[in-house]
C-alpha cells in the first residue's frame, strides 16, 4: 500500500520546460532543527533556467535556503548557501546528498517517514512550481519512490 502511495506522489510535476522528478527528504530526529529536500530537475528547453528560491509553509520551517555541499581536497565537507542552481538547457540539475539541496532551517516539527512536504520551487524563467517531497527514512540515500522493491521485508 505504501508503495502505491509513494508512486502516486512521485508523479512528476512540470511547468513549461522544467520538470521536477521524485522530490524527497529524509526523516529527522524528534528535536532536529533542520532538514533537506532533494530532487532531480530537468530542463527540456533550449535556454538555461535558474532555481532561485524554494519555500515551504511556515508551519513546516522558519527558513528555506538553497545550499551546496562540496568535499575539498582534504576530504573536508563544506556546506554553504548558494544564490541559485543552474538547470542547463536540455540538461538537468540533481539536488542530492553531498551536493545541492533545499535546506529547511528551523523545523517546526520533525519530518516523519511516509509523510510529504509541500514545497514551491521558484525559477527565473519557469516561475513557481509546486511539488511534494516524500519523506524517506533518516538513512535514505535516494528518493523512496526511486527505490525498487521499497517494501521488501529486508528494508524494514
Interface residues with another protein (CB under 8 A) are 26-27, 29-36, 62-63, 65, 69, 71, 73-81, 97-98, 101, 103, 105-106, 137-141, 154
By CB neighbour count within 10 A (0-12 exposed, 13-18 middle, 19+ buried), where does 32 fall?
A: middle
Residue 121, strand partner residues: 54, 129
Which three cell numbers mark 59?
Answer: 508551519
Residue 46: CB minimum distance to another protein, A: 32
Question: What is the rounded distance in angstroms from the CA atom of residue 31 to the CA atom of residue 151?
Answer: 27
Nearer to another protein, 10 or 138 (CB): 138
Residue 75: CB minimum distance to another protein, A: 4
Nearer to another protein, 46 or 154 (CB): 154
Nearer to another protein, 9 or 32 (CB): 32
Question: What is the rounded distance in angstroms from the CA atom of residue 100 to the CA atom of residue 94?
Answer: 7
Question: What is the rounded distance in angstroms from the CA atom of residue 100 to the CA atom of residue 122?
Answer: 15
Nearer to another protein, 11 or 79 (CB): 79
Residue 4: CB minimum distance to another protein, A: 25
Residue 104: CB minimum distance to another protein, A: 8
CA distances to 26, 48, 67, 73, 100 from 94, in Å: 16, 15, 12, 22, 7
Contact present, 64 and 25 (Cβ < 8 Å):
no
Nearer to another protein, 52 or 137 (CB): 137
Question: What is the rounded distance in angstroms from the CA atom of residue 66 to the CA atom of residue 16?
Answer: 22
Residue 81: CB minimum distance to another protein, A: 6
Amino acid at each position: 500500500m505504501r508503495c502505491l502511495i509513494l508512486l502516486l506522489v512521485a508523479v512528476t510535476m512540470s511547468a513549461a520546460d522544467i520538470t521536477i522528478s521524485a522530490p524527497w527528504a529524509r526523516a529527522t530526529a524528534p528535536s532536529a532543527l533542520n532538514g533537506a529536500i532533494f530532487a532531480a530537475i530537468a530542463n527540456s528547453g533550449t535556454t538555461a533556467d535558474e532555481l532561485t528560491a524554494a519555500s515551504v509553509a511556515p508551519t513546516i520551517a522558519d527558513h528555506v535556503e538553497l545550499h551546496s555541499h562540496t568535499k575539498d581536497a582534504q576530504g573536508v565537507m563544506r556546506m554553504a548557501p548558494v544564490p541559485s542552481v543552474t538547470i542547463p538547457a536540455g540538461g538537468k540539475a540533481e539536488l542530492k546528498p553531498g551536493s545541492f539541496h533545499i535546506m529547511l532551517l528551523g523545523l517546526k516539527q520533525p519530518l516523519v517517514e511516509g509523510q510529504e512536504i509541500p514545497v514551491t520551487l521558484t525559477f527565473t524563467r519557469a516561475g513557481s512550481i509546486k511539488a511534494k517531497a516524500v519523506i524517506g527514512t533518516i538513512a535514505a540515500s535516494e528518493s523512496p519512490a526511486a527505490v525498487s522493491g521499497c517494501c521488501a521485508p529486508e528494508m524494514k
